[in-house]
Amino acid sequence: MIVRARTVVTMDRAPIENGAVAISGNRIIDLGSFDEVKGRNSGEIVDLGDQALLPGLINAHCHLDYTCLRGKIPPQKSFADWIRAINAEKAKLSGADYLSSITEGFAEAKRFGTTTVANLTAFPELISQIHSPIRTWWFAELIDVRSPEQANEIVDLAVESIGKARPEPVLSEVQGGAPNWGLAPHALFTASKNLYRRCEEVARHEDVLLTTHLAESREEMEMFCDGSGPLYDFMKSIGRDVSDCGGMTPLAAFIGIGRALPIEWIVAHLNELTESDFDLLETAKRKFHVVHSPRSHGYFAHSRFLFERLRPLEFNVCLATDSLASNESLSLFAEMRAFQRNEPGLSPDKIFEMVTVNPALALDQSRHGGTMGRIRPGFQADLISIPCGGGTNLFEEIVAFAGPIDWMMVNGRM
Ligand SMILES: [Zn+2]
């Protein structure tokens, strides 16, 4: 099959005017001008007209479990109060509610041009009942705050659930046969060091990915640095051993846990960093992939995300939606615009990389070679198109795009 568009945005070179890609099975096999591609390939021609053909978008961090909580929790006085509020909402939901919430989330993500999602779920046992219409990395979100002595069992049970599900091999297949799942110890304040270590052991053994929430709120910083504050009080009240609190930033505590270099954690947030943290980051042997969720960040009124300081340290920064318990939609286009408002000096093509090339690097990781996030021969045929006015700044138009997508291909299928 040949797909032609007014412009093809490859992410490797300047956009190709009157361009086309050839697709065989689930892979891109050729690209160039329409005439070149037509000359070298045969098959059905799909002409998208005056559209820009783009790589499908990749959401590096979301919780589709909570799609049904959109608009349910107004911003709270404290982060601890927000956790109380979401726990109260979660207590009202059944397994069937979560299933429909996840299904609705997939549909919405797809509508906004997302072809791959890194989805954290607190219910790995539900995965086998879900049909994901887009490429999905499932992360089991793990918490042992009420039973830290069971850290290993909690991890092993989640691994077993995911193993039973083995979701849809066609959509999960990436080059080299890398598994498309991972583990997500929730955060330092809800997951014990033993749980983190067990996850690293499993990740090394099974060659899977790891993600966590880190240094998200001022209260988390206060809890670990000072041994005080609303989050500290809340966690202590539910029985968390707080002897690790006081005297260390969340980042320093996290770096102190790791033994399994060179696992590349996908770290969500990093909003709260001290000068000593930046010293640590400069000398850290481990580089993380960092996920920033601009609109959820705004909802919580977190401290400014220090992109301008992380970027020179060569951290791979991705954009994501996080969950609809703290966001309005699963649109990565809206996320790009929110980020652009905070970082007006950054060029729109660099912002677009943060929902394509960068999250592809986080999910594929260097060990398997890239297969996503670009339009390139050999890559997955995950493509979207948006109307293209033919103005001088194509990437500005892409970031500004606000409508739903009307054409998409996932894994070679329209
Ligand atoms: Zn999250």
- Measured in Å, residue 28 CA sits from the centre of ligand 1 at 32
Q: What is the pLDDT of residue 256?
A: 86
Q: What is the pLDDT of residue 168?
A: 53
- Measured in Å, residue 353 CA sits from the centre of ligand 1 at 21
Per-residue model confidence as pLDDT tens digits over 374-384: 999 999 999 99
Calpha distance 154→142 (Å, rounded): 7
- Measured in Å, residue 294 CA sits from the centre of ligand 1 at 12
- Measured in Å, residue 391 CA sits from the centre of ligand 1 at 36
- Measured in Å, residue 102 CA sits from the centre of ligand 1 at 15
Calpha distance 231→189 (Å, rounded): 9
Q: What is the pLDDT of residue 334?
A: 97
Nearest CA to 123 out of 61, 65, 71, 181 is that of 65
Per-residue model confidence as pLDDT tens digits over 270-286: 999 999 999 999 887 66
Whole-number percent of the chain with pLDDT over 70: 94
Q: What is the pLDDT of residue 391?
A: 76
- Measured in Å, residue 295 CA sits from the centre of ligand 1 at 12
Nearest CA to 384 out of 396, 373, 394, 371 is that of 373
Is 288 a residue whose pLDDT tops 90? no
Is 171 a residue whose pLDDT tops 70? no
Residues paired with 409 in a beta bridge: 383
Calpha distance 66→115 (Å, rounded): 19
Kindly report whether the peptide bond that precedes residue 262 is cis, defined as omega within 30 degrees of 0. yes
- Measured in Å, residue 82 CA sits from the centre of ligand 1 at 13
Per-residue model confidence as pLDDT tens digits over 112-134: 999 999 999 999 999 989 989 99
Calpha distance 88→91 (Å, rounded): 5
Average of per-residue pLDDT values in the chain: 92
- Measured in Å, residue 307 CA sits from the centre of ligand 1 at 18
Is 226 a residue whose pLDDT tops 80? yes
- Measured in Å, residue 213 CA sits from the centre of ligand 1 at 6
Q: What is the pLDDT of residue 287?
A: 74
- Measured in Å, residue 323 CA sits from the centre of ligand 1 at 6
Residue 127 in tokens:
């995965």
- Measured in Å, residue 6 CA sits from the centre of ligand 1 at 37
State the DSSP string of 85-114: HHHHHHTT--HHHHHHHHHHHHHHHHHTTE
- Radius of gyration for the alpha carbons in the chain, expressed in angstroms and rounded: 21
Residues paired with 8 in a beta bridge: 16, 53
pLDDT classification of 366: cutoffs 50, 70, 90: low
Calpha distance 195→200 (Å, rounded): 9
- Measured in Å, residue 266 CA sits from the centre of ligand 1 at 11
Nearest CA to 375 out of 143, 67, 31, 17 is that of 31
- Measured in Å, residue 121 CA sits from the centre of ligand 1 at 10
Per-residue model confidence as pLDDT tens digits over 173-182: 444 456 788 9
**pTM confidence score:** 0.95
Is 327 a residue whose pLDDT tops 80? yes
Is 403 a residue whose pLDDT tops 60? yes
- Measured in Å, residue 232 CA sits from the centre of ligand 1 at 19
Is 260 a residue whose pLDDT tops 80? no
Better-predicted residue by pLDDT, 166 or 95: 95
- Measured in Å, residue 320 CA sits from the centre of ligand 1 at 9
DSSP helix, strand, coil percent of the chain (3-state; round to 5): 40, 20, 35
Better-predicted residue by pLDDT, 171 or 28: 28
8 Å CB contact between 67 and 328: no
Is 172 a residue whose pLDDT tops 50? no
Residue 384 Cα distances to 145, 284, 344, 357, 381, angstroms:
42, 37, 26, 15, 10
Question: Please, which residues have CB within 8 angstroms of residue 339's CB and are 6 or more apart in sequence?
Answer: 292, 294, 319, 346, 351, 354
Residue 5 in tokens:
């568009």
State the DSSP string of 179-239: --EEEEE-BTTTS-HHHHHHHHHHHHHHT-EEEEEES-SHHHHHHHHHS-SHHHHHHHHTT
- Measured in Å, residue 269 CA sits from the centre of ligand 1 at 8
- Measured in Å, residue 364 CA sits from the centre of ligand 1 at 20
Residue 5 Cα distances to 54, 358, 366, angstroms:
10, 24, 31
pLDDT classification of 389: cutoffs 50, 70, 90: confident
- Measured in Å, residue 379 CA sits from the centre of ligand 1 at 28
Calpha distance 389→27 (Å, rounded): 28
8 Å CB contact between 234 and 189: no
* Mean pLDDT score, 176-194: 87
Question: Please, which residues have CB within 8 angstroms of residue 145's CB and are 6 or more apart in sequence?
Answer: 189, 190, 191, 192, 235, 238, 239, 240
Q: What is the pLDDT of residue 261?
A: 52
- Measured in Å, residue 122 CA sits from the centre of ligand 1 at 11
- Measured in Å, residue 268 CA sits from the centre of ligand 1 at 7
8 Å CB contact between 137 and 118: yes
Is 367 a residue whose pLDDT tops 60? no
Whole-number percent of the chain with pLDDT over 90: 81
- Measured in Å, residue 1 CA sits from the centre of ligand 1 at 38
- Measured in Å, residue 61 CA sits from the centre of ligand 1 at 6
Calpha distance 133→110 (Å, rounded): 8
